């Protein structure tokens, strides 16, 4: 499904290079549906009448809107990576209690009616009508600045499976967007100083980068600048990875419930979906990371001719996404490459020989659950899919599950039993080969 506004041009170009053709999909066979809109709300009549085959994929999981709705995200999660938000009038008392305990905080107020954004202090909020519908969120003071400009970092995140949950981050590039006016001298009435708007600046507009912006990735340019200010790049990315995973896990139960509900209705399975997201972060002067928004359909085509320099970046994200989900080339896809032992055999999945030798005659021991002879056929198919993703991950880095997950944050109870088993299997693979860690 191609967007009629032609803002999927780069996707279409990459797909054509890989041997795929655009079809209407109404009366023709199709392999991939890519929709900018959330199709279960926008086109429920179309989705309802579709019959998904095992090799057809759609780019939105049912239930992903729990994660991508900003008001839902900031009011439903308690996280050090998300600034508290309040829906007014529903959260009026909750907000008043928070404001009383945090008298020095500033707040961004967005009116539902006109969409206007305003930065106010608690004293100014006292004169507002808290009976009218609006959204209030804590404002991030003291942002880390590049040449005096506040900015956000758009990090591309790919979910290839919801149950079991598998998350990747695009590691070789990010989208950097700068406020059009310097942060100082600060003026709360001038949103161009602290809101990345339509007139945003890009990294090649910054003097520090303009002469070499064509020679290095935007990510490398920023990392070099960040290090020059005495900051730790590795720590930053570890923090961002943690923020991404923790945010998804905190919304996981709601997403998973909605996913099962809608898939029962639409007759689909986990294998029919993937999700390419963009997590937008801001950083403060202490290098604390705050998630501003999760974009369900990140822009992959330049909105203006002067942004055309981003096209190569977008196409690389698209290509690596298609590659990891099994759409690297139509000829391979047509020849059932996704299910060929040429790409993954049961022997590739086997782990922990010493334990699994004991489990040959009985699977009663708990440790036997990672042995292929003790697994269900369906879960072995999951592992084949994961193994192929590992081979084809390209510029994506798996950030969940990882070998460090179980010891972190006490979030193990938030994930499904399938995800727990997959995490155990990944740990066993990691013990044998660092590439799986």
Can you tell me which residue has the tokens 């969120």? 137
Per-residue pLDDT of the chain (437 residues; tens, 9 = 90+): 445 556 789 999 999 999 888 887 677 788 899 999 898 888 777 777 777 888 889 999 999 999 999 888 888 777 899 999 999 999 999 999 999 999 999 999 988 755 678 999 988 988 888 888 899 999 999 999 999 999 999 999 999 999 999 999 999 999 999 999 999 999 999 999 999 988 999 999 999 887 777 889 999 999 999 999 999 999 999 999 999 999 999 999 999 999 999 888 877 899 999 999 999 999 999 999 999 999 999 999 988 888 888 999 999 999 999 999 999 876 666 656 566 788 899 999 999 999 999 999 999 999 999 999 999 999 999 999 999 999 999 999 999 998 776 555 567 777 899 999 999 999 999 999 999 99
Element (H, E) at 154: strand 151-162
What pLDDT does residue 81 have? 96
| Residues contacting residue 233 through CB under 8 Å, at least 6 positions apart | 223, 226, 227
CA 106 to chain centroid, in Å, comes to: 28
What pLDDT does residue 115 have? 62
Which residues, listed in sequence order, are joined to residue 152 by a DSSP beta bridge?
177
Pair type for strands 57-58 and 32-33 = parallel
Element (H, E) at 76: helix 70-76
Q: Which two tokens stand for residue 164?
A: 């079991």
Taking Cα atoms as reference points, which of 226, 249, 85 lies closest to residue 146?
226
Question: Whole-angstrom Cα distance, residue 46 to residue 39?
Answer: 8
By the 8 A CB rule, do 313 and 330 touch? no
Euclidean distance between the first and the last CA atom of the chain, given in angstroms as a whole number: 36
By the 8 A CB rule, do 278 and 294 touch? yes
DSSP notation for 101-120: H-TT-EEEEEETTT--EEEE
Question: Whole-angstrom Cα distance, residue 50 to residue 189?
Answer: 50
Cα dihedral across residues 356, 437, 255, 263: positive or negative: negative
| Residues contacting residue 59 through CB under 8 Å, at least 6 positions apart | 32, 33, 34, 35, 273, 274, 275, 276
Q: Which phi-psi region, left, alpha or beta, contains residue 288 (left: φ > 0; alpha: ψ -120 to 50)?
A: beta
Taking Cα atoms as reference points, which of 86, 83, 92 lies closest to residue 129?
92
What pLDDT does residue 47 have? 78
């Amino acid at each position: 499904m191609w967007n009629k506004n032609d803002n999927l041009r780069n996707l279409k170009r990459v797909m054509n290079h890989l041997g795929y053709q655009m079809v209407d999909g109404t009366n023709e066979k199709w392999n991939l549906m890519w929709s900018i809109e959330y199709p279960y709300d926008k086109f429920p009549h179309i989705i309802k009448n579709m019959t998904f085959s095992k090799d057809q994929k759609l780019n939105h999981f049912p239930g992903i809107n729990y994660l991508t709705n900003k008001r839902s995200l900031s009011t439903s999660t308690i996280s050090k990576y998300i600034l508290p938000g309040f829906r007014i009038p529903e959260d009026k008392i909750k907000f008043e209690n928070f404001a009383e305990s945090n008298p020095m905080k500033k707040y961004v107020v967005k009116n539902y009616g006109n969409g206007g954004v305003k930065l106010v202090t608690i004293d100014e909020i006292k004169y507002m009508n808290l009976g009218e519908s609006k959204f209030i969120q804590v404002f991030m003071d003291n942002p880390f600045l590049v040449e005096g400009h506040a900015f956000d970092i758009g990090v591309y995140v790919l979910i290839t499976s919801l149950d079991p949950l598998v998350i990747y981050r695009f590691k070789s590039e990010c989208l950097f967007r700068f406020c059009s006016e310097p942060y100082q001298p600060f003026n709360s009435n001038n949103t161009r100083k602290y809101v990345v708007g339509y007139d945003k600046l890009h990294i090649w507009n910054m003097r520090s980068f303009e002469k070499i912006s064509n020679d290095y990735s935007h990510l490398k340019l920023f990392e070099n600048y960040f290090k020059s200010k005495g900051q730790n790049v590795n720590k930053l990315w570890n923090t961002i990875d943690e923020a991404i995973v923790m945010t998804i896990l905190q919304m996981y139960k709601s997403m998973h419930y909605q996913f099962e509900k809608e898939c029962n209705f639409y007759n689909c399975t986990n294998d029919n979906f993937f999700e390419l997201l963009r997590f937008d972060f801001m950083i403060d002067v202490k290098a604390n990371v705050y998630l501003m928004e999760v974009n369900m359909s990140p822009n992959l085509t330049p909105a203006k001719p002067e942004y055309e320099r981003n096209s190569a970046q977008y196409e690389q994200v698209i290509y690596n996404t298609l590659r990891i989900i099994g759409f690297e080339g139509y000829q391979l896809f047509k020849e059932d490459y996704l299910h060929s032992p040429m790409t993954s055999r049961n022997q590739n999945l086997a782990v922990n020989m010493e334990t699994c030798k004991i489990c040959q005659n009985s699977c009663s021991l708990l440790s036997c659950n990672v042995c292929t002879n003790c697994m269900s056929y369906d879960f072995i198919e999951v592992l084949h899919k994961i193994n192929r993703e590992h081979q084809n991950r390209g510029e994506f880095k798996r950030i969940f599950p990882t070998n460090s997950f179980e010891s972190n944050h006490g979030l193990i109870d938030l994930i499904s039993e399938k995800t727990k088993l997959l995490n155990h299997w990944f740990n066993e693979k990691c013990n044998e080969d660092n590439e799986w860690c």
